[in-house]
Amino acid sequence: KSYTYNFDMKNIKTLNNLFVLDKRNEAISLIKSITKDIILYENTSINEIKNYYFKILMSISKVSIDIGSESEYQDKNSDFFWDIISKANTIFQIEKYIISKLNQIFDYKINKNNYSGNVFNIIRYIQNNYSDVKLSILKISNYTYLTPNHMCLIFKKETGKTINQFITELRIEKSKDLLKDKKLKLYEISINVGYCNQNYFTKIFKKNVGLNPSEYRGKYLI
């Protein structure tokens, strides 16, 4: 059977939404998923594949311009992007380049708040590891090479929040998104946002939102 990949433009819209929601990991996973799917369809035209990735890159570039990060690097025009894609020898080279652009934008979004390099690194580490049930002040301290006390002090000074408060708020926001998927059980959502104990997750969620996860799902989602 001769099947070719369906170049769904909805993926580009989804990617743009992930930028708005600051979902770095999910955005990268989407790109990897697209690549993985394309490889399954061997009869797909190489030109169509390159055109699709080009559209993705142009969409990423537009987001960069919108948030003001495009001036951070020189490859601003469509000719440059097309040159990168057309010269790529494998689909994985294109994927790697796109992911590097994604990281560039997400890093800029954090950095444009004028955080110091240390606080920037703390925030990025938390955003990349919030689902780790063992995430802790000590673990972040080991990553940043800062003492726990100094790290907590500069983070509170620059963000107005404690590190634990920041982690909790991020986890709650992520769990709200996951609650939109009614196929997911509460214990699955709990694990996905870094809580190994569902009851504790429910308690934290209610404290921050005013409703428990089930009530939130029932009240706000149809």
Q: What are the pLDDT digits (tens) for 161-183?
A: 999 999 999 999 999 988 988 88
Q: What are the pLDDT digits (tens) for 107-157?
A: 888 777 778 889 989 998 998 899 999 999 999 999 999 999 999 999 999
Report the half-sphere exposure of 198 (CA within 13 A, side-chain side): 7
pTM greater than 0.75 (yes/no):
no
- Please check whether residue 193 is in contact with residue 178, taking contact to mean a CB–CB distance below 8 angstroms: yes
pLDDT at residue 73 in the model? 45
Give the model's confidence band at 216: pLDDT under 50 very low, under 70 low, under 90 confident, else very high: very high
